[in-house]
Structures are given as structure tokens and as C-alpha cells.
Structure 1
Amino acid sequence: MPHPLLASATDASKPIWLVTEQTWSAIAEQLPKTSQGFAKAQGFEGKAGSHCLLPDADGNLLGVAFGLNGTDAKHTDPFLVGKLPSLLPDGVYRFETQAPNPALATLAWLLGSYSFGRYRKRPEKSVRLVAPNGVDAEDVARIANAVVASRDLVNTPTSDLGPDGIEAAARGIAERHGASFTSIVGDDLLEQNFPMIHAVGRASETPPRLIDFTWGQADAPRVTLVGKGVAFDTGGLDIKPSSSMLLMRKDMGGAAATLALADMIMGAKLPLRLRVLIPAVENSISSNAFRPGDILQSRKGITVEIGNTDAEGRLILADALALADEENPDLVVDFATLTGAARVALGPELPPFYTDDDQLAADIARHGMAVNDPVWRLPLWTPYQSQLDSKFADMNNTGGPMGGSITAALFLRRFVQAAKAHVHFDIFAWNPSTKPGRPEGGEVQAARLMYSLIKERYAS
């Protein structure tokens, strides 16, 4: 699918000189005297993130100088050029000097152009980029379109995106790619043995559901994606304080990341058999809400005592993961906005991930750095498993006061036994402030790196 902000090489375009403090003077000497004098008067020195609109002798726009991180920088941001779309006047541009990573620079341009305008009109801009030579513009556009669509999902409030809205979004993606789609809704979850998904979502006016779609050849390598789709989380009867509910529209960020990754995989027609499972619920409060102290049956037969109704995400994921595991897939990937403990440990920009597969972990770390989608491995520390012990059931849904992201991952691991490999991402799905290529609001984390990894593993 083409991207409206990518222009053809045949379009008339203005140059962007990507410079550093070390290279700016040499490039400036090649510019017309008018442009050199204007840049000097503006105090432009090529500092990272700074820009200067350069005029020609008639006062028209000749081009743009933009500062990148120099070789001596402690941190280099591959998405720094994502600042430009919001700074430049309408028009078509090209990189006159090569970016360190042209593909990431192109993606940063597209992601930096994003704004969420469903409820408030914003000024429309048309700042387009000619993709640099050698960049797979179709693939970059595919990634950007998937990320943007899922950012929209995270940013949409629950009043317009309940469990049924998540299903509609998933159905649209599945149908666009010719995938086989089903959804198990309401009491049918009990009949088909998904008791924990039903228990978590039954208090909402919008029934809980398990979204399930498959794509690809049946005999291809099997990759299953599972995404937490909590449309809103009050915390249930263990109700959250009001301040903690303000961003709970993003508690379906795992589902959004899953749909973004699925969209990329199917759009690229990777040679695998893809299955997507999204338990979609709203954790509400009503007379039939599940309670602290309840003991729930799970699809896998493991009984779970409810230590806290606000630890609901792992419950719905457990039933979905158990279903995924029944097919003995080659790889199971789950995405979930699961714990506040992960944010305390690593902050909002660096999601932890968990896997027992050391080679998979190394590949994840490598691809995360390569595509600027960073993550950090935390241990599945088995001694912490005892924190999930229950006196009355096989396990409790909450651990102790510390190591909460690890104990949540250990909880999920109990439900994946047959898959050849499993990785769990505890994502935040939100940018607390605007950074280049990453506007404040909903974000898709870890999906781009997994697309890169899966493409390498199954399409190389």
C-alpha cells in the first residue's frame, strides 16, 4: 500500500542537507553566498535537531539544513529526522546527503508526520519525501501504515473502541488480507472453554470475546501472535484510583501491537502460517464482576485464585495462550500492557521481554537495535514462582510486592508448554511526551522488531 507522504523520484523536490557540527562548514561552503550568510545570521551550526530554511538569491526556498548527531554523541537517535515534517512548509523534499540509515530515516519521516485528528481538526500539511535510493519504499510504507493504524486504535477512547470495536478493527485487517476470521462472544466462551476470558469481561455491557484469525499455508512454519485487548480497565472490584484510570484506553495496546505486526506480515506475504488471538474485554464493575478470592478454572485446567482483580490481563492471556499452545506452534509471541512494575524497572521507552530461548533473545535484542525498536531482556527467575503459590488453588494471579513484571511473565509461562519458542513483551504502548518520530500518545512497541526478526527467520 503506498504512503501519501512518499513522493516519486520524478517529482520536483527541495534538498535537505543532513549535517553534523563537524560536517556543516564543508557543506556550507558549497552553498550560494546568500544561503551561507542567512545560515550564519540564524546561528545555525549543525547542532543535532536544529534546522535552517535556506533561501536562494530571490528569497525563495533553496533547501533545508538539518543537524544530526555527530560521531562524538553519547546517544544517536536514528529517528531524529522525524522532527522535520512538523517544521517544514508544504512541499516535496529529498535527502541531498545520505542519512546514516536511510530506511530508518524514511520511516521516521512518516511516523513523525502522525497526528491523531479524530476528535479535533488539525491543520493539514503535505510534507512529502522522495525515498532515498536503495530504500524499499513499499516495505517502509507497509510498516508505517500498520503503526499509524494501531496508534489510532490506542488513542481512541473506549467510548468508541470497546471489545466490539477491537473486533471490528481486527476483522477489517483480516478481511483485507484474505484471512479466515472467527470470534467467540459472551457465554459462548464458557461453552468453548475460555472461562477466564469470560470471568474478566462479563461485568461489561459489551460482552467479552476471543478474536481468532488465521492466514497462510497450513504446512508453513506456524507463528501465533497473542495480544491483550482490555478496552478499559477500572481495576474491577479492586478499583484503581482515578489518576490511574486516565490512560486505561491504552490497555488494549497489546492487541494494537499484535494487529500491527499481523498487518506487516500479511502485507509482505511472508511464507508462514499466521494465527492471531486477541482476548478482548472490558474490566468493569457490576453485580456479576469477578471478585478477590474467587477461584477460576482456566482452559488449561489450572485453577487460579484471584488475589487482585486488577491483575486481569494475565488471566485473559492465559486462556488465549493455552489455545495457541495446543497447535505446537514454532513461535508464540504475546504483547501486553501487563504491569506497572515494568515501567518502574525500565521506564516507558524500553519494554522488557521474557523468553527461555537464548537464541531468540539474542535475535530480539539485535533486531530491536537495528530497527530502533528497543527492548531489554529480563529473567524468568524461577525462584520467584513461589510468589504465585495459593493455599486453595494451583496458583494465584498476583505475586509479592516486588518483581511484579517477572512474576507476571512466570504466570504466563505456565500456559505455554508445547510451543517450540515463546516470548512475552510487557509493553507500555504510550509516549508520555513527543520525541522525533514518536508523537505524544499511543505507540506501537516491539512489533517492528518482531517483523524484522520473523522476516529474517522465515523469508531469507
Structure 2
Amino acid sequence: MSSESPTTPALGPELATAGRLTAADVLVIGLTAGDDGPRVVVGTRVLADDVAADLLARLRAVGAKGKAEELTRVPAPESLPVASVLAVGLGNEPVSAEQIRKSAGVAARSLTGSATAATTLSSLDLGAAAEGFYLGAYSFTAFKSAKSAPKADEQPLQHVDLLVADADADAAKAALARSAAIAEAVASAREFVNTPPSHLFPAEFAARAEALGTAAGLTVEVLDEAALEAGGYGGIIGVGKGSSRPPRLVRMSYSGGGAKKVALVGKGITFDTGGISIKPAAGMENMTSDMGGAAAVVAAVVLAAKLRLAVDVVATVPMAENMPSATAQRPGDVLTQYGGTTIEVINTDAEGRLILADAMVRACEDKPDYLIDTATLTGAQMVALGARTPGVMGTDAFRDRVARISQEIGENAWPMPMPAELRADLNSKVADMANVTNHRNGGMLAAALYLKEFVADGVEWAHVDVAGPAYNTGGPFGYIGKGGTGVPVRTIISVLEDIAANG
């Protein structure tokens, strides 16, 4: 690992289950909205009825409504060993797990400066509450010097007791372990995305991925530029040759002993200038996020090992930096993807599909049953679906399965078509294919059609475009702060769990 790498801070607060409320700075409770006013909601045997009634009276007196993610803080009754009570709105009943996750995240973010909290949200859904608190309290401060580092009253929440009924305590510990591992994996992906390209270039990214994988017991292989050149990985070499920091390909393998094998591929462009087809200067700093797909894939395969899923998973992760220079590929150049397909490079800013194609051909050599690739691939994803909704394309049944699972767990991917008529627009006069069409229509869909050419026959495939959802350039919301979001780690791991359970 590079000596330039900063010390990684704690990714989120310490989480613990507790059967009863003990001393804490604040108690976080849930409040639902209704026609007859708000209602305090807690699981059975976690908060006494008279205490809940007292809290509700206090909250109604100051105008709390229970609207989703509304925050209301009041002094605690003397009977509670806390200084104050924070009510977070859950909206109308029934309350979904995702709403609990969002409300917990909003509550966690508001508790900056508080060392300890306890919550009854966990009595409604332990996993959602744990993930929401952990991810809502996440902050990236690795590059803050003493001059600007958070002061004591600016520190994120340090510890959360997740209250559950005494009878549920043992089962809760196992459930918490799973949710804490998921939250940590999402935060790990965020950490990769938030690390600036001065410190996370291909070789460094590969080293950090290798360290994480090795610690989790994975088999890890790293191909450097010489091995990539010798192996015929023309897409990765072509994109990376404009940079003084050469590309890498990382292979991370987990054997869970299941009946199915899943290939994961993630786009790892550690910075994207657009190359010779250079991007506008405004907003280019956000291209530190162009390895969000790779970050999610690395985090997901490590998480699969930690959860001991009964499925075999192999992640193939191409990493490159797309820069303009005397050695950069030019518009009009022809390169040969791994496997032999020749490509006319019309636009060097359509580089993600070039490195993904190499990796997908290599991944299919392992004869997987399923292939999931994810990438911050096209601005067209945001034009079509906005900044928070991933687009999913691929073989119909698996595309729909991935989208359904993503919606169930709150990352809300949406299935999209691949219109056959767009494929002809990728034809080239001088090579097998061009890397872009000659128009802007359906750009996300055309990119998926490009990738489809590199999926082996018989492999169930889903392509998840997270150009907007992987990186939040606006204000915080729910359990998402500004910067890297960790999307689509939770979608990937949930699909892997579904495959392990159902084939």
C-alpha cells in the first residue's frame, strides 16, 4: 500500500444490541403520522406504555407531526436515563424497512457531537436501523488536517445501542452481525470513491483491493501493465496508455461451495478527464467517482466471503486512469479487445465500456452462471432516470430479478430495454464495432448493447449503470451523505444471497 495513503478513520459508529435502555446522551424513537396526529411506535417490551404516552404528549406539544424524516427533540422524562429524546418521523403506516433506514440515517446525521445514543427503531427492524445509523453517521475526514478536523462537538455519533426485547436478544446479535457487515461494506465502497485520485490511482487501488481480499481469505491476482499487454487486454491498455500511472486488472475469487458461480465486473476508472475527447472543466473534479462500480464490486466480493454465502464469486476489476497526453489513444484509433474484437474508438470519453469489455470476456472464460457488471457508465443514465435510480439492462429474466431485488432493498434500480435497432449504430467502417453511436439517442441503452457483444452465450447477465446513484453531488438525504454512496453494494449482495438460496 502506498506510503501516501492516509490512515482510514472509523467508517461508522459502534453498534450493539441491548435488551434495555441504559445511560446515553439521547434516545431516538420513531413517530408515525396519522389523521388523528402522530403516534410513537416501538416494539413490544422495549419502552413502557406510560413512558411512550408521556413522550407523545411532549412531542405533540411542540408540534411534531411524524412526517417522514422530520426531527423533533425534547427533554427526556426523569424516568429515562438519557438527557433528551429525538423523535424521527417515519411517515404513514405501514412503515417500510427502507423508511426506517432513511429515518435512522437522518437521525444519526443530526446527532453530530453526541457520543452515545440508544434507539427503539431497532425494535421495528433491527437490520434497517443498524444500517441507517451506521451509514448516516459515516463521514470522510481522511484528508482533514488539524486545522480543519472536526472538533469534539463536531464529531460524528460514536456508539448506538439498538434496543430489542430481552427475549429476542440472542437472535438479534446474529442479525446485527449481518447488517453491520453490509453497512461496513457500503462504507468501504464509499471510502474508495471518496479517496482523491492523487492517492487512489490504479496501482494503489489494486493494492488496497488485494489487501482487503487477502484479509478476507480470497484468492487475489493482480495483472500489471506488462501482463495486460502480453495478455491482449487492448481495451484496458488503450484507455490507460495516456497516463503516467499504468493500468491494472484485479481478480478476486471466493469459493462458497454453492451450486452456482457468479462473475462480478466493475468499472475502475480512477479519474476520467475524457482523454483526448476531453470533458468540460466544470464539475470534472467529480470524476474521482468514476471507479464507483469497481469499488462496489470489490466491497461486495469481500462481503460475500464475510457472510460465507453458498455461492462461488469471481470479481474481475479493470482499473485505469483516462488522461490526455502524447501517448493517449486518439479518436479514430483502432484497438483489439481481449478476445479479438476490433474497435474503432470514436470518442475517448466512452472509455468505460472498453475496459469493461476486456474484463467481461475474461470473466466469461470462468464459465459463470451469472454475470453482473456495474459502472458509472453514461451521463444518459441520469438523463433517463435521474441521479438516484440505477438503470438495469441485460438478459430479460435476470435483469428483472436484479431490478426487483434492488427495489426491495431500497436501491431502486429500474429495468431498461436494449432496442435492437440501436445496435446497427455501433457498426464501424474500419473495425468490427465503434465504441459509440453517431447520435445521442438512447445512450445508456446503446452502451449496454455494446457490452452485450462481450457476454458469452448462455450466461445470465445484468448491467447496472450507476452514473448518478454512485456519487451524490447535492445535499445529504436519508442515510446518504455528500460524495460516494456505496450504491450498488446492497443490490449486489442481495442478489448473491438470492442466488445462493434459490439458484
- TM-score norm. by structure 1 comes to 0.92
Aligned twin of 1:431: 472
C-alpha separation in 2, matches of 1:316 and 1:25 = 53
**1:109 is aligned with what amino acid?**
F
Shift of 1:215: 2.0
Give the stretch that moved more between structures: 130-139 or 157-166: 130-139
Query: Aligned in 2, Cα 1:364/1:270: closer, same or farther, shift over 3 Å?
Result: same
Does the CA-based 8 Å contact 1:18-1:97 persist in structure 2? no
Aligned twin of 2:119: 94
Pair 1:162 & 2:201 matched: yes
Shift of 1:355: 1.2
Query: What secondary structure is seen at the aligned counterpart in 1 of 2:317?
Result: strand
| Number of matched pairs | 458
C-alpha separation in 2, matches of 1:262 and 1:142 = 12
**1:395 is aligned with what amino acid?**
M
Shift of 1:169: 1.9
Query: What secondary structure is seen at the aligned counterpart in 2 of 1:20?
Result: strand
Query: What secondary structure is seen at the aligned counterpart in 2 of 1:417?
Result: coil
Aligned twin of 1:282: 321
C-alpha separation in 2, matches of 1:196 and 1:146 = 29
Does the CA-based 8 Å contact 1:85-1:127 persist in structure 2? no
For residues 163-212 of structure 1, the C-alpha deviation after alignment (integer angstroms, 9 at most, x for no partner) is: 01210221012101221211111132121111121111012111111111
C-alpha separation in 2, matches of 1:103 and 1:96 = 10
C-alpha separation in 2, matches of 1:91 and 1:438 = 21
Query: Aligned in 2, Cα 1:95/1:337: closer, same or farther, shift over 3 Å?
Result: same
Does the CA-based 8 Å contact 1:15-1:96 persist in structure 2? no
Query: What secondary structure is seen at the aligned counterpart in 2 of 1:349?
Result: coil
C-alpha separation in 2, matches of 1:167 and 1:104 = 31
C-alpha separation in 2, matches of 1:426 and 1:297 = 24
**1:117 is aligned with what amino acid?**
T
- TM-score norm. by structure 2 comes to 0.84
Aligned twin of 1:17: 29
Shift of 1:236: 0.7
Does the CA-based 8 Å contact 1:208-1:282 persist in structure 2? yes
Query: What secondary structure is seen at the aligned counterpart in 2 of 1:242?
Result: coil
Does the CA-based 8 Å contact 2:353-2:377 persist in structure 1? yes
Does the CA-based 8 Å contact 1:258-1:447 persist in structure 2? yes
Query: What secondary structure is seen at the aligned counterpart in 2 of 1:262?
Result: helix
Aligned twin of 1:390: 428
5 Å matches for 1:294-443? 294-358=333-397, 360-399=398-437, 400-428=439-467, 429-432=470-473, 433-443=475-485
Aligned twin of 1:456: 498
Does the CA-based 8 Å contact 1:325-1:416 persist in structure 2? yes
Give the stretch that moved more between structures: 206-215 or 309-318: 206-215
Give the stretch that moved more between structures: 214-223 or 243-252: 214-223
Aligned twin of 1:5: 14
Query: Aligned in 2, Cα 1:232/1:30: closer, same or farther, shift over 3 Å?
Result: same
Shift of 1:357: 3.3
C-alpha separation in 1, matches of 2:38 and 2:315 = 52
**1:12 is aligned with what amino acid?**
T
**1:130 is aligned with what amino acid?**
L
Query: What secondary structure is seen at the aligned counterpart in 2 of 1:343?
Result: helix
Pair 1:69 & 2:85 matched: no
Aligned twin of 2:46: none
Query: Aligned in 2, Cα 1:15/1:57: closer, same or farther, shift over 3 Å?
Result: closer
Give the stretch that moved more between structures: 158-167 or 2-11: 2-11
Shift of 1:62: 5.4
For residues 255-294 of structure 1, the C-alpha deviation after alignment (integer angstroms, 9 at most, x for no partner) is: 0111121122111111222211111100111111111101
Give the stretch that moved more between structures: 57-66 or 228-237: 57-66
Shift of 1:459: 3.8
C-alpha separation in 2, matches of 1:226 and 1:161 = 19
Give the stretch that moved more between structures: 12-21 or 276-285: 12-21
C-alpha separation in 2, matches of 1:142 and 1:130 = 16
5 Å matches for 1:10-409? 12=22, 15-22=27-34, 27=40, 30-31=50-51, 38-56=58-76, 61=83, 63-71=85-93, 77-78=99-100, 79-88=102-111, 89-95=114-120, 98-99=123-124, 101-120=125-144, 121-122=149-150, 123-124=154-155, 125-130=157-162, 132=164, 133=168, 135=172, 136-216=175-255, 220-358=259-397, 360-399=398-437, 400-409=439-448
Give the stretch that moved more between structures: 71-80 or 251-260: 71-80
Shift of 1:373: 1.3
Does the CA-based 8 Å contact 1:184-1:209 persist in structure 2? yes
C-alpha separation in 1, matches of 2:53 and 2:251 = 63
Percent identity over paired residues: 31
Does the CA-based 8 Å contact 2:311-2:499 persist in structure 1? no
- 5+ residue gaps in structure 1? none
RMSD: 2.8
C-alpha separation in 2, matches of 1:24 and 1:226 = 49
**1:85 is aligned with what amino acid?**
A
Shift of 1:221: 2.2
**1:431 is aligned with what amino acid?**
N
C-alpha separation in 2, matches of 1:279 and 1:97 = 39
**2:182 is aligned with what amino acid?**
I
Query: Aligned in 2, Cα 1:421/1:57: closer, same or farther, shift over 3 Å?
Result: closer
